[in-house]
């Protein structure tokens, strides 16, 4: 088979890390290759180098179609037929679809820039040719992310790209959009193009790729044929140890309603009705998973229940008591723990020490204190125990919290919230930005909190997580609960219809 890309001995050193360490990578004509690895493994860096970004590199050579090239700028890459869709799209939101497609590549006729009519014509032609339906005159900012991504791809196709790099393209898509993207990818390779598909979702790797290259800490740890490997093997190469995919989950034992919401309403920061008449119940010993595309009121829902956001109307009943008027602190004292999605924003005080953050909320009570007297030894032991149990990597609990890396910061918040005597846990996007080794650990912890009798409200945009943990699934769409299911009774595709508002229960 013909190699369209060959990268040899690529090394890229950033001030604090070797992002690519003597990496060899190749891509065959007509193949879909998955590039996988945990956050920070070096995937984006490697592909950015191929796309002429991240220059200069420290060493390495790049061959395109067998010929050595110096790709010192994206213009060079595009000239060689290489294009990249970044994790964060690079379209101009206020421009129309057609303006975005021709932007930076306007053909000049007799030295005159292309006019709008011409741009629309080109967009129609190119979208017809590839069977993508887009509205040329629509403004990009009004379009869903799935369509915006399509426009990024079209833009590359317009430039004549035949080597496409997609950096975590499914992260922002619904199940339907993912299905459409996969069929797009298949049709692009059937026309002879080659694709690099960056992801850390292994079911996607199995579903779409021909080969898989695995990276870990800047190095290649494996190059495999998808048909001849398993998710387990790939995960092991990614993480450096065995990973269990199925968390052991016992049948739930329901022990009475802990939280009841009756027709609650709340506003978003932009003063729109973000939670629009939600009613639900969560029992002790169960996990209610709230599925939904982000921005449908889930964040506001969590904040209203924890008291961080005012309630407009309705009732919040916790252990048979109306807590509408209780402050966040009072709710915490009653046993409502909260893991917010933005751990930095509301989870911790970054300037305080690691110990201070770990014991916060427990520090003024038995056994760490009596009256105004704080027991320093007990406090230190308490923090040390959490550091060990949650594997928070730090040299010393008296260091400022800001010294922790992102993953360790997450563990700190979780350690604190899981360690006090809670009755209800509100957990938002618990594994966002966490690597797969830690996801397994966290999922086990969440299930053990359930089995200890906590009622758990789990908000997650990740359907794998929703299915792995939930005893019941409720779908939130535009501030309302549009359906409630047992995980066994509904498939992802159908759940996706509820998430996008295409379907709802009465």
Ligand X SMILES: Nc1ncnc2c1ncn2[C@@H]1O[C@H](COP(=O)(O)OP(=O)(O)O)[C@@H](O)[C@H]1O
Find the binding residues for ligand X in span 22-61 (CB under 6 A): 37, 39-45
Measured from the CB atom, the residue of 41 and 336 that comes closer to Mg ion is 41
Measured from the CB atom, the residue of 19 and 91 that comes closer to ligand X is 19
> Cβ neighbours of residue 71 under 8 Å, at least 6 residues apart?
49, 50, 51, 52, 62, 64, 77, 80, 82
Identify which range of 38-46, 252-260, 335-343, 427-435 contacts Mg ion by CB under 5 A: 38-46
> Cβ neighbours of residue 271 under 8 Å, at least 6 residues apart?
none
Measured from the CB atom, the residue of 44 and 470 that comes closer to Mg ion is 44
- The nearest distance, CB 38 to Mg ion, in angstroms, is 10
- The nearest distance, CB 27 to ligand X, in angstroms, is 17
Interface with ligand X includes 17 (CB under 6 A)?
yes
Measured from the CB atom, the residue of 199 and 410 that comes closer to Mg ion is 199
Nearest-10 crossing angle of helices 406-419, 376-389: 120
Identify which range of 43-51, 102-110, 124-132, 315-323 contacts Mg ion by CB under 5 A: 43-51
Of 362, 355, 357, 400, the C-alpha closest to 381 is 355
Residue nearest to Mg ion (CB): 44
One DSSP character per residue, 360-394 reads TTTTTSTTTEETTEE-HHHHHHHHHHHHHHTT---
Interface with ligand X includes 19 (CB under 6 A)?
yes
Measured from the CB atom, the residue of 44 and 408 that comes closer to Mg ion is 44
Q: Which does 39 bind (CB under 5 to 8 A by kind): ligand X, Mg ion, none?
A: ligand X
Residue 112's SS3 state is strand
Phi, psi of 94 (to 5 degrees): -85, -5
- The nearest distance, CB 5 to Mg ion, in angstroms, is 18
Q: Determine the Cα–Cα distance for residues 410 and 390; give it in Å rounded to an integer.
A: 10
Interface with ligand X includes 226 (CB under 6 A)?
no
Interface with Mg ion includes 44 (CB under 5 A)?
yes
- The nearest distance, CB 57 to ligand X, in angstroms, is 12
Interface with ligand X includes 500 (CB under 6 A)?
no
- The nearest distance, CB 45 to ligand X, in angstroms, is 3
Measured at the CA of 313, the angle between CA 307 and CA 316, to 5 degrees, comes to 50
Measured from the CB atom, the residue of 196 and 449 that comes closer to Mg ion is 196
Residue 418's SS3 state is helix
- The nearest distance, CB 85 to Mg ion, in angstroms, is 12
**Which of left, alpha, beta for 366 (phi over 0: left; psi -120 to 50: alpha)?**
beta
One DSSP character per residue, 4-52 reads EEEEEEEEEEETTEEEEEEEEEEEETT-EEEEE-STTSSHHHHHHHHTT
Residues that bind ligand X (CB under 6 A): 14, 17, 19, 37, 39-45
Residues that bind Mg ion (CB under 5 A): 44
């Amino acid at each position: 088979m013909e190699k369209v890309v060959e990268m040899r001995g690529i090394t890229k050193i950033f001030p604090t890390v070797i992002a690519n360490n003597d990496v060899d990578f190749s891509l065959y004509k007509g193949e879909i290759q998955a590039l996988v690895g945990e956050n920070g493994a070096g995937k984006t860096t490697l592909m950015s180098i191929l796309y002429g970004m991240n220059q200069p590199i420290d060493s390495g050579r790049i061959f395109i179609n067998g010929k050595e090239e110096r790709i010192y700028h994206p213009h060079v890459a595009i000239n060689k037929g290489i294009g990249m869709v970044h994790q964060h799209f690079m379209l101009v939101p206020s421009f129309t679809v057609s303006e975005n497609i021709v932007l930076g590549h306007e053909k000049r006729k007799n030295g005159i820039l292309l006019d709008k009519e011409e741009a629309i014509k080109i967009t129609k032609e190119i979208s017809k040719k590839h069977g993508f339906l887009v509205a040329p005159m629509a403004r990009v900012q009004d379009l869903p992310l799935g369509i915006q991504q399509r426009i990024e791809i079209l833009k590359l196709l317009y430039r004549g790209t035949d080597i496409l790099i997609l950096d975590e393209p499914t992260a922002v898509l619904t199940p339907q959009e993912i299905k459409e993207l996969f069929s797009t990818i298949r049709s692009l390779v059937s026309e002879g193009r080659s694709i690099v598909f960056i992801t850390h979702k292994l079911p996607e790797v199995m579903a779409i790729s021909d080969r898989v290259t695995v990276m870990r800490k800047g190095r290649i740890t494996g190059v495999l044929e998808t048909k001849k490997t398993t998710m387990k093997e790939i995960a092991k190469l990614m993480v450096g140890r065995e990973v269990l995919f199925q968390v052991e989950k016992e049948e739930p034992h329901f022990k009475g309603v802990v939280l009841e919401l009756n027709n609650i309403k709340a506003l978003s920061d932009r003063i729109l009705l973000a939670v629009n008449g939600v009613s639900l119940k969560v029992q002790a010993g169960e996990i209610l998973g709230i599925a939904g595309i982000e921005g449908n009121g889930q964040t506001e829902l969590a904040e209203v229940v924890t008291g961080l956001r005012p309630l407009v109307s309705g009732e919040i009943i916790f252990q048979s008591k109306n807590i509408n008027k209780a402050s966040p602190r009072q709710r915490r004292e009653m046993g409502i723990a909260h893991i917010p999605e933005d751990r930095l924003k509301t989870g911790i005080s970054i300037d305080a020490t690691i110990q201070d953050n770990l014991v916060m909320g427990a520090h003024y009570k038995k056994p760490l204190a009596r009256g105004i007297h704080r027991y320093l030894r007990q406090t230190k032991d308490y923090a040390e125990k959490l550091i060990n149990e949650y594997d928070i990597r730090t040299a010393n609990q008296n260091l400022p919290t800001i010294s922790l890396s992102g993953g360790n910061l997450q563990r700190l918040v979780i350690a604190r919230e899981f360690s006090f005597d809670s009755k209800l846990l509100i957990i938002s996007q618990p594994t966002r930005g966490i690597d797969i080794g830690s996801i397994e650990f966290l999922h086990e912890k969440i299930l053990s909190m359930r089995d200890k009798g906590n009622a758990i409200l789990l908000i997650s945009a990740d359907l794998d997580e929703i299915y792995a943990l939930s005893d019941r699934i409720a779908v939130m769409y535009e501030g309302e609960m549009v359906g409630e299911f047992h995980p066994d009774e509904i498939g992802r595709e159908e759940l996706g219809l509820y998430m996008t508002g295409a379907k709802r229960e009465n």
